[in-house]
């Protein structure tokens, strides 16, 4: 507890702070349906869909995380 003694005649101690009321934690959000893409290696290269550029990290990232999941993470 802080020392409330002071030689200053104008000193007015602050009343003790009341603890904030406890709130219930928020309910967890429901996970959306998600089926991860299976990536296997064929001849040292990942077996990705034909429309995905294997040298583009963002294109590979998009295979695993939907826009809805990214919104939840943000």
Q: What is the pLDDT of residues 17-29, one digit of tens each?
A: 888 888 998 898 8
Report residue 58 CA to chain centroid gap: 19
**Residue 35 structure tokens:** 């089926």
- Ranking 10-14, 19-23, 64-68 by mean pLDDT, the lowest is 10-14
Q: What is the DSSP letter of 3?
A: -
Instruction: Indicate the average pLDDT of the chain.
Output: 81
- Confidence check: pLDDT of 4 > 80: no
Tell which phi-psi region holds residue 43, choosing left (phi > 0), alpha (psi between -120 and 50) or beta: left
Look at residues 37, 57, 41, 32 and name the one whose alpha carbon lies nearest to residue 49. 37
């Amino acid at each position: 507890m802080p020392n409330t003694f002071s030689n200053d005649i104008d000193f007015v101690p602050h009343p003790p702070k009341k603890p904030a009321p406890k709130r219930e934690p928020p309910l967890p959000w429901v996970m959306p349906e998600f089926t991860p893409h299976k990536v296997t290696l064929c001849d040292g290269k990942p077996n990705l869909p034909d429309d995905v550029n294997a040298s583009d990290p963002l294109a590979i990232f998009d295979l695993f995380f939907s826009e809805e999941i990214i919104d939840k993470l943000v």
